[in-house]
Structure 1
Amino acid sequence: YDPGRLFGVTTLDVVRARTFVAEALGRSPYDIDVPVVGGHSGETIVPLLSGFPSLSKEQVEQLTYRIQFGGDEVVKAKSGAGSATLSMAHAGNEWATAVLRALSGEKGVTVCTYVESSVEPSCTFFSSSVELGKNGVEKIHCVPKLNAYEEKLMAKCLEGLQGNIKKGVAFGCK
């Protein structure tokens, strides 16, 4: 396979992060950027909220949990009869639009996505900010400097992510 063209779509995590942070700040989700790194399941989702110093420690902790487990919130609200269908459709549209913009030659199309990378040496796949181009991945950006809370989140993330990667690789090899 071509690792530059294999993506795990984590846009739903970014959409949730932007939405919840914007709500907390009284702003539009389209006016802010919340990087989300790591993986796409529970504690492997690491929203980088240190770029929003006006958020209190309590807000950051609450938002982090909500971003990590927002899907559970929706399933519970629907009494187990569904998931975040509209949110997934919106995130899918954002992802597809970004890919189409990059394929058409637009420069600087950057998304958070799960790709094979060396950004985190202990994991062969990792979600981070990635610049897309006509041929897929053009540049994988390093994770920005983390604060102490984000470092703790990252340690938890890496524990779970390694197991997720093993499962995914085993499934892909079937």
Structure 2
Amino acid sequence: MLMSKKGWIGSIFLVLLIVVGWWMVSPLFLDEVVDEDLPTTIEATTNAEETSNEESPAVSHSGMFVDGDDTHHASGDVTSFYTDSKQWVRFENFEVTNGPDLYTVLVKEGQSTDEGTILGKLKGNVGSQNYRIPDSSSLEEGDRIVVWCKAFEVDFGFAELFHKE
């Protein structure tokens, strides 16, 4: 027997509900672990400096991640440094509550997160990772690096940056 029009619509709605439900709920119990090395230009600099007994690339800013709210937790360290005229931020010992549609955002003092500069999709909710600061931006004391859920406009965690002396 063929399905009625209501049956087809109900089936399509159920499939869509399952897909959207999985997209929203699965990150809550699945971790995306990433262990990214330093960018290759930094590795080359670090290796050359180690052999010549010089210091590794200088850290310009640093901070620690804190929770976005009571439901969304974040921890770990963020540092920034220059190499080959490019500025980077690096997350280490990083962990944040997983969720859908997470991005890494540079937020200037006085800006809301949705006004900030998106550095890219979050590569993983656990582990070390690097993000390039665009040439059109630079880091300043008081800036924040935010893990932001774009779909629901929720901050999952952030690190306020302080100038490293």
Length-normalised TM-score, structure 1: 0.23
| Structure whose CA Rg is larger | 2
Which one has the bigger helix percentage?
A: 1
Which one has the bigger strand percentage?
A: 2
